[in-house]
Chains A and B, each alone.
Chain A
Amino acid sequence: MTVRRYLIRRLALMVLVLFGVTVVTFLLVRVVPNDPAAIYAGPRARPEQIQEARRILGLDRPLYVQYGIYISDLVQGDWGTSLRTRRPVLDDLLAFLPYSLQLVFLSLLVSIIVGVSLGALTAYKKGGWIDNGTRVLAIGGVSMPSFVLAILLQILFFRILGVLPVSNDIDITISQTHPITEITGATAFDALITGNFTAFGSAMEHLILPVLTLAAFSTGVITRMTRSAMLESLGQDYIRMAKAMGVPKRTIVLRYALKNAMAPVLTIAGLEVAFLLVGTFFVERIFALPGLGTYATTSMLSLDYPAIMGITVLMALFYVFINLIVDLIIAKLDPRVVLS
């Protein structure tokens, strides 16, 4: 199958996935006892005002009509208006996404670099103290919930050592003395490309603990995955052959085994991206960061259904695209994989 036909098929499947996701979410947010019109009209509204709000929001119409309107607006780029911020949901999402992407990207970078290095190293030195020590760390990273790790890191680096800030994306005073020209909304990135190094330093410093927290899980997974994939490739006949031929051990590990071990690692890393984005829900809230995670949790707690729908659709899109990209890369890496 050509790549183009494959892409068309995958995109067609994506439409189905989105249909399923929107139907389920649309029903779910309406099944819970909830009165969006009352939220919209505000807590002191009189019954007739709530009735009016119900009419404005179209909530007085049958559910399938509401769904139809929602979908037709959605494809035209109107994702609804948040009940809480009263702004178009799409504007809100696009305003908060860049900060979260920056967080996800840095966390992924850290977990791939650390995870692959440690994984390769421990496969190479299997059974040694490095292997055992890393195993403990990796299992710790995987099994510790991010909100616990976040608090432990806050206690250690802020309360005991007093070296790192624990909340917000940048020091408030610096944000006023060295204001950042907003381009994407990702504080550190914007500061860097506009050459505002004082603000960049502060933003990076504020990112260290959130990135460590967020990266812990995926680093653990990637380390263990790399290690077992490496061990598997190291046990293959061609490796034994290479050994017999006298190829240096380092060459065998890095040149032959690692490349073949990369396919499963890459699949996992791809899935980790989506996982990390959801991980921002906890991390951004604990560290008070202005990203999609904070927006999502606040919307959920106030039952802001247009925002909840918007977040779900965005996440679904994200998952589908990341999976597609990972599949394409793996097909490229491993000639045995056929796109179908």
Chain B
Amino acid sequence: MRRSVHGTRKHRRRSLIAFGVVLVLAMAALGSTLAACGGGDDDGTSTTAADSGLLRIASWLTVTTWDPRASAADEPMFLANIYEPLLYANPPGSEEDFTPCLAESWEVSDDGMTWTFNLREGVTFHDGEPFNAEAVKYSVEATQEMDLGAAYIWYPVEQINVVDEYTVEMVCSYPAALDRVATSMYGAWMFSPATKGQSEDWWNEPNTAGTGPYKLVSYTPNDETVFEAYEDYWGGWDAGQAEKVVMQYVDEPATQRQMLEAGEVDFADAISRDAVPSMEKNENVKILDIPSVQNMVVLFNTKNPPLDDVNVRQALSYATNYEDILAVATNGYGKVARGPIPYTLYPYDPDTPQYTYDPEKARQMLADAGHGDGFTLTMTYASDDAFGSKLAPVLKENFADVGVTLDLQPLLFEQQWAKAKGPAKDRQDLFELIWWPGFPDGYDTLYSLFHSEEEPLWNMSYWSNPEYDDIIDTAFSEEPVDPEKAQELYSEAQKMVVDEALSLYLFDQDSIYGALPTLKLTDMALNPNYTSVLNFYQTSK
């Protein structure tokens, strides 16, 4: 009896373990078999699906807000495919500065105060509302009223008049380059008047209401965003353009690379520069090296001794090996800077002076300034930024060469920034920063980095000079009136901040992307003026 009971139990126990093992094997087998058959017939469908217009993107970008009035962070890639501005800024080196978008033509009064935009007819928003002068007035006023994010770009506009259905007039309180403002990837999107009264929470459900070529289908943060073509898009549709776009959140460059090389995505936007040489040997992928309007600066705290002495700042500018830093930080994908404005951006001036690497001279200048024995400085940088982390040790070595100890403090960017805006005694000596302007005009750079500020925001040099403020503000107002004079003033301002050595102007960087060779892109697809944006409509397969 006992034996037989044991026998049964033993048998049961053994079958339990056997069952477990079989279950796992079965699951694995089922998984891979189904995937294999799935893959099999999907190799067929996947090509057709891909050919019939599925664009697959791996992207590190996330949405902070879907509200087109408030957007000022990493979401332009999402918004720029759903919304459109009045004008597009053309890539650097183009013959014309602008491409008409929702405005077909525009003119400015001689005093640079009144701008008239003639709007494209027959355009509708995704919700069916017509696009017209009222819609422009509504969009700009709603953005101004909310006064968040990049709303400041519209500060010059005092009044908006609807002249007729398709003509809108913007009156400024001072002369301003509204053509450049109207191209911005922040705060210049046109959205449907039917959204009037909706809160930011409503937008973030998310809801969208643009005129652009793509409509939002679904959005899961940190996962997947799906777009589909807007049938009634005013630009029309060609064969080869994507009917559907899936944007997959992948923020590891190594993972993006693998997905691209496996052909799982058509486009990847975070390709490590270290991976480029080996990827270039792989004929199944292509590397896109695109100039950008982003540049790397290291701002000196001009309030902290000994950096309050311009001779010390200049000496450190000579102690810096710009070529080495460019090579180490960007793997050579960029150019040594000439001043604070990248070569891709108006009003860059190729004659802006630049310091060259000369440690001998640096040592001499430091000795003359009474710092022959050296001193210690702290530098904060964003540890989550690949460039920043790579160049910091090079700079430390350069400074050590001339007897200056550089104490490196890696922080998360938000912390680095909070520290710089905090109490003066806690602030860093050097602040490393990748900068790009809010709208495609170097005025934004010159203003944000060096204009006097009551409370520090981006001017981490803490420098204040009313004469400089006046020069750049006048230059901005001269842009629509007397462009030559504007350029002259801007050149003067650039020379000024270089002579004052308010910052190390390190390099203008390129953007590196990866794509499958089958993906075709026009010049407007990866437009440097729209940082990190792939314009889906400008691609085809």
Contact = CB atoms under 8 A, between A and B. Distances in A.
Contact of B255 (A114, A173, A287): A287
B72 A44 contact: yes
Interface in A251-279: 251, 254-255, 258
A45 B152 CA distance: 8
Contacts of B54: 172-173, 176
A34 B418 CA distance: 5
A175 B246 contact: yes
Given A44-B150, A255-B6, A87 B418 contact: no
A42 B64 contact: yes
Interface in B187-228: 200-201, 204, 220-224, 226
Interface stretch (B27-35, B170-178, B398-406, B500-508): B27-35
Given A38-B414, A85-B63, A174 B438 contact: no
B264 A44 contact: no
Contacts of A32: 415
A318 B34 CA distance: 34
A156 interface: no
A42 B148 CA distance: 8
Interface stretch (A1-9, A63-71, A137-145, A295-303): A295-303
B350 interface: no
B142 interface: no
Given A172-B265, A177-B45, A46 B34 contact: no
Interface string A59-103: 000000000000000000000000011110000100110000000
B70 interface: yes
Contacts of A158: 258, 262
Nearest to B263: A173
Contact of A250 (B10, B66, B73): B10
Interface string B216-253: 00001111101000000000000000001010111110
Contact of A290 (B42, B220, B457): B220
A87 B13 CA distance: 49
B412 interface: yes
A44 B249 contact: no
A278 to B, nearest CB: 18
Interface size class of A (residues with CB under 8 A): 35 or more
A335 interface: no
B408 interface: no
A158 to B, nearest CB: 6
Contacts of B71: 42
Contact of B31 (A173, A178, A205, A258): A205
Given A42-B65, A87-B204, A87-B221, A251 B32 contact: no
B455 interface: yes
Interface stretch (A10-18, A19-27, A194-202, A225-233): A194-202
B222 A295 contact: yes
Interface stretch (A122-130, A160-168, A308-316, A324-332): A160-168
Given A33-B422, A117-B17, A288-B250, A204 B27 contact: yes
Contacts of A39: 414
Nearest to A258: B13
Contact of A198 (B38, B50, B70, B248): B38
Given A110-B24, A172-B56, A298-B62, A255 B49 contact: no
A168 B415 contact: no
Given A113-B21, A158-B262, A255 B13 contact: yes
A127 to B, nearest CB: 22
A42 B414 contact: no
Contacts, number: 221
A198 B42 contact: yes
B14 interface: yes
B412 A301 contact: yes
Nearest to B47: A173
Contact of A86 (B39, B50, B200): B200
A42 B73 contact: yes
Contacts of B13: 254-255, 258
A290 B24 CA distance: 24
A177 B49 contact: yes
A281 B418 CA distance: 26
Contact of A173 (B9, B50, B62, B150): B50
B384 interface: yes
Of A33, A84, A110, A175, most buried by chain B (CB within 10 Å of CB) is A33
B147 interface: yes
A146 interface: no
A111 B528 CA distance: 50
Nearest to B147: A49
Given A175-B246, A204-B31, A301-B412, A167 B204 contact: no
A302 B200 CA distance: 21
A302 B61 CA distance: 13
B78 interface: no
Contacts of B20: 113, 117
B255 A302 contact: no
| Main SS at interface, chain A | helix
Contact of B415 (A165, A167, A172, A303): A303
Interface in B150-172: 150-152
B119 to A, nearest CB: 27
B137 interface: no
A43 B56 contact: no
Interface in B1-58: 6, 9-10, 13-14, 17, 20-21, 23-24, 27-28, 30-39, 41-42, 45-46, 49-50, 54, 56, 58
Contact of A33 (B64, B264, B419): B419
B123 interface: no
A117 B21 contact: yes
B297 to A, nearest CB: 16
Contact of A167 (B28, B30, B259): B259
Given A34-B415, A113-B24, A167-B255, A43 B248 contact: no
A35 interface: yes
Contacts of A104: none
Interface in A211-228: none
B357 to A, nearest CB: 32
A204 B252 CA distance: 22
Contacts of A302: 412, 414
A290 B10 contact: no
B431 interface: no
Contacts of B537: none
B24 A109 contact: yes
A239 interface: no
Interface string B420-447: 0110001000000000001000000000
A289 to B, nearest CB: 9
Contacts of B381: none
A177 B152 contact: no
Of A47, A159, A207, A288, most buried by chain B (CB within 10 Å of CB) is A288
B417 interface: yes
Contact of B258 (A42, A95, A154, A205): A154
B96 interface: no
B149 interface: yes
A208 interface: yes
Nearest to B453: A47
Contacts of A173: 42, 45-46, 49-50, 54, 56
A21 B21 CA distance: 40
A334 interface: no
Chain A to chain B: the 10 pairs with minimum beta-carbon distance, closest first: A201-B34, A204-B31, A205-B35, A290-B223, A42-B72, A201-B35, A198-B38, A44-B72, A35-B418, A113-B20
20 contacts: A33-B411, A35-B417, A39-B414, A44-B150, A45-B149, A86-B66, A167-B259, A172-B246, A175-B224, A175-B246, A176-B246, A198-B34, A201-B31, A205-B32, A247-B6, A258-B13, A286-B252, A288-B255, A290-B249, A295-B222
Given A49-B149, A176-B246, A254-B14, 10 more contacts: A33-B411, A42-B150, A43-B73, A46-B152, A52-B148, A159-B258, A176-B226, A202-B38, A208-B32, A255-B9
